[in-house]
Structure 1
């Protein structure tokens, strides 16, 4: 089990929301951070604050992980700075909401690149180093949306289902090799994720705080769990697909997520990074 102190931890999507709270919580525990996102000003401000208040080392790497080759550039930058990563948190991601054919094809391509391909590529690049040390951890942020298909958020739900399956498979592969894997599956959370939508149809249930999500994740990591759903209500929601028929689940989720704005125009959710 990784001891979360004096470790170098890489966090994507670290400029706000769950990623920022991961950074703050792990910094308080005495770890050093590699903060990754597109928002240089936000990252630099956070890094400056954590260095001054806690005396830890913080590296900032500006990178748009939705672009082809971006994960490799991130890895090479870490190598050039001689940063030996002990833990990876793949948190960066965003969602789109609306009728599939009305959404921008380019935007949904970026969604797949960030939510799926960056997770696969970053994990593939950094895992050998963790295995060489015989210790370390990878937290991949999935969602309760990953437990069933999500009409009107088809690409987002499918991407998070991939992350959940992928991470649990690697949990088993690496269970006796010293590297822990955890799929973090929060429900609706109080972040910038829903700001652009302007309505609540893409948000199901009471929103958790990112602080609660992060503390739940770190406790689950300490216990060696393959996945965790923060909050009892969210956990029960994630189990609905086991209790109802497939068609019933599709109709239930479709009814909850169906766009209610005039003309059913497609909407895009703001990236979580």
Structure 2
């Protein structure tokens, strides 16, 4: 059975993406850590859209999870023709004060596990000369972001990796897209790593979209087979404007602004 695999699908953007694909008749394989949420979502999708919805409970902060997901999908006879690498996490605050293990988990989840999943599943897509991989990045992929240093670095890596990877896949009719949302009304900023004074400062007065708005834009970009898309017209304008500035200037400006907001010199 051909299915669309979506990571980080138990809430937020991942869940909204699952509903968009289900509405288009796609069978699904959802991955996240929370078994209860996954089971409930799969049941709802099956009833509402009459599609097959499967799930695998896995923590992609664990380096062994990508191989487990790949092998488990094979064992179940599920053929992944679309892979949506959505799972991700970040942190806010001064890097030297943040917990090192949590910072390293960001790199494992946002980069290493995504690369591993892409490596496992793209081989099958290349063999069939058909497939689509969507990597969910962030507007931060285009700018330095002091006080979210590791998260920003992980998304910069993802941007460069995806552009390069997409070009390599062209001869095999496998399409790869970098999709970059801005700040979204989800639980992303409510984690222990982000729910602090720095996190609140970073997101104050920011333009936001709902997960449903982001997922809807993703489906439009997917339908047009885009290689790159920034979600939200204001976000697209911001990316264009910052593209005219040096990365060092942006880092200095944002760093000073955030320190002023925190009452620091």
TM-score norm. by structure 1 comes to 0.89
**Pair 1:12–1:257, CA change in 2 (3 A):** farther
How do 1:217-236 residues align onto structure 2 when only pairs under 5 Å count? 217-236=218-237
Task: Tell me how far 1:252 sits from its aligned partner.
Answer: 2.4
Partner of 2:54: 59
Partner of 1:90: 85
Find runs of 4+ consecutive structure 1 residues off by over 6 angstroms: none
Is residue 127 from structure 1 mapped to residue 114 from structure 2 by the alignment? no
Is residue 146 from structure 1 mapped to residue 141 from structure 2 by the alignment? yes
Give the unaligned 5+ runs of structure 1: 1-5, 264-273
Partner of 1:34: 29
Task: Name the SS for the 1:123 alignment partner.
Answer: helix
Contact 2:63 2:112 in 1 (8 A): no
Partner of 1:211: 212
Query: Separation in 1 of the partners of 2:76 and 2:177?
Result: 27
How do 1:106-255 residues align onto structure 2 when only pairs under 5 Å count? 106-196=101-191, 197=195, 200-203=200-203, 205-255=206-256
Task: Name the SS for the 1:56 alignment partner.
Answer: coil
Contact 1:98 1:258 in 2 (8 A): no
Query: Separation in 2 of the partners of 1:172 and 1:109?
Result: 28
**Pair 1:259–1:24, CA change in 2 (3 A):** farther
Task: Tell me how far 1:251 sits from its aligned partner.
Answer: 2.0
> Relative contact order (C-alpha < 8 Å, sep 6+): which is higher?
1
Query: Separation in 1 of the partners of 2:260 and 2:90?
Result: 14
Question: Comparing both structures, which one devotes a greater share of its residues to helix?
Answer: 2
1:129-187 deviations in Å (ceiling 9; x for gaps): 11122111000010000112211000000101111111111211122321111111111
Query: Separation in 1 of the partners of 2:258 and 2:239?
Result: 15
Task: Tell me how far 1:7 sits from its aligned partner.
Answer: 4.3
Task: Name the SS for the 2:185 alignment partner.
Answer: coil
Partner of 1:81: 76
Task: Name the SS for the 1:97 alignment partner.
Answer: coil
Alpha-carbon RMSD: 2.0
How do 1:10-21 residues align onto structure 2 when only pairs under 5 Å count? 10-21=5-16
1:98-150 deviations in Å (ceiling 9; x for gaps): 00010000000111000000110000000011112211100001000011221
Give the unaligned 5+ runs of structure 2: none
Task: Tell me how far 1:80 sits from its aligned partner.
Answer: 1.0
